[in-house]
Amino acid sequence: MRKLGVHEIEDIALGAALLGAGGGGDPYVGKLVALGAVKECGEVTLLSPDEVPDDALIVPIAMMGAPTVLAEKGIGGKEYRTLFEMVSRFFGKDIYAFMPIEAGGVNSMLPIAASARLNLPLVDADGMGRAFPELQMVTFTMGGMSASPMALTDEKGNSVIFETITNKWTEELARAVTMSCGGAVSVSLYPMTGAQLKEYAVRDIVTRSQRLGEAIRTVKNSADKSPEEHFLEAAEGYKLFKGKIADVLRETRAGFNFGKVILEGIGECKGKNAYVEFQNENLVASVEGVIVATTPDLICLVDTETFVPVTTDALKYGKRVLLVGLRCFEKWRSEEGIELVGPRYFGCDTDYIPLEERCKGGLYHV
């Protein structure tokens, strides 16, 4: 058990943006929401899964929709109380604690804001260890857990609870309502007991995000390593490419940000080309026509000077970026995990090959 305040939130937002693999929304917007709640309502208590009673009701809080829309619509703060009351009424007992459903700029921050405003603890765990675009793409699905009852509300006060026959149906129905509500809503889903949390969740995601954020913030403080080496070591990352953004193709469709970013090599990669395709999150990376990383491993773009993560909605022509791969949570590499979030699910015509096998040669492979 420990407290999360302003300083911790700054680092968590930065590190979670990296784990968001390009998605999860604008970290700046999410950070402002969390900071505003903590400054107004006080620090948040962070619990490890082992500190949660087995019979407690734990509910993930998240934003659903296109992250670019959230920057315009914003979050008023009343949504958390609405979700709390809907879910507590459904189960006939109060929610014990909130948790994030994924790592990412927005969805790592909203549960902190919800916990602060409702004076509830936050659990140091999530259902992805990164970010994915569809709500059935969580470790809880592999554990046979249901996404519903799923509560949904918009900033205007419209609200609904879904009870569905499969998690894919939850995604389909909630996505349709999200589009009707303007493309971005607040949700709670995968309500679970403390016992289920301990068995299926990705543990310590908030702590890992904070450590990564601290490493990025202090990347130039190392006396015996270059900033790039310091960053890659802290992130346990694989260097895939260094380049300048030459073009960005992007569209918002069916509540998702789809697109492709094309990179022209700089430095040791000069004369080479690479691209990354994304659906909210980065899905596949290719260098000189050869695939070097695919989902569910994390594909991240960071600024070459500051190593601050660059989300898919912040990609701009001329920006210099480092393309980095991170190993995913081990359960995603199971047959069931690959079926749920592997490259073929997203229409990429390749089998999943672990990042370290595609990039033999060590952490600093080019």
Q: How far apart are CA 198 and CA 54, in angstroms?
A: 8
Under the banding of pLDDT at 50, 70 and 90, the label for residue 351 is very high
Residue 49 lies in a domain: yes
CA distance 107 to 123: 14
Give CA–CA dist 101/139, Å, rounded.
10
> Residue 365 corresponds to which tokens in the numbers above?
């492979």
My answer on whether 265 and 139 are in the same domain is no
Residue 105 pLDDT exceeds 80: no
Asked whether 67 and 24 are in contact (CB, 8 A), the reply is yes
CATH code assigned at 270: 2.40.390.10
pLDDT of residue 335 exceeding 90: yes
Note down the domain range covering 261. Answer: 226-358
Q: 51 and 160: one domain?
A: yes
Q: What is the mean pLDDT of residues 333-347?
A: 95
* pLDDT higher than 50, residue 231: yes
Please give the single-letter amino acid code of residue 336: E
Residue 213 domain-assigned?
no
In a domain, 366, yes or no: no
Q: Report the CATH number at residue 174.
A: 3.40.1610.10
User: Does 172 lie in the same domain as 295?
Assistant: no
Is 163 in the same domain as 233? no
Q: Of 150, 173, 205, which residue constitutes the final position of a domain?
A: 205
Same domain membership, residue 279 and residue 153: no
- Do 191 and 244 lie in one domain? The reply is no
Distance between CA atoms of 299 and 325, rounded to whole angstroms? 5
Mean pLDDT of the chain: 91
Does residue 304 lie within any of the structural domains?
A: yes
Give which of 276, 277, 293, 282 is closest to 356, Cα–Cα: 293
What does the alpha-carbon distance between residue 28 and residue 109 come to, in Å, rounded to a whole number? 10
Q: List CB contacts of 21: < 8 A, sequence separation 6 or more.
A: 130, 131, 281, 282, 298, 299, 300, 326
- The pLDDT value recorded for residue 362 is 44
Residues 280 and 353 in one domain: yes
| Domain co-membership, 187 together with 267 | no
Q: Using the 8-state DSSP alphabet, how is residue 5 labeled?
A: -
Choose the weakest-confidence range: 61-70, 169-178, 186-195.
Answer: 61-70
pLDDT confidence band for 366 (50 / 70 / 90): very low
CA distance linking residue 45 with residue 253, whole number of Å: 38
Number of structural domains the chain divides into: 2
Answer whether residue 364 is part of any domain.
no
Are 232 and 352 found together in one domain?
yes
- pLDDT (tens digit, 9 = 90+) per residue, 44-73? 999 999 999 999 999 999 988 766 666 666
Same domain? For 140 and 262 the reply is no
The reply to whether 15 and 160 lie within a common domain is yes
Same domain, 243 and 350: yes
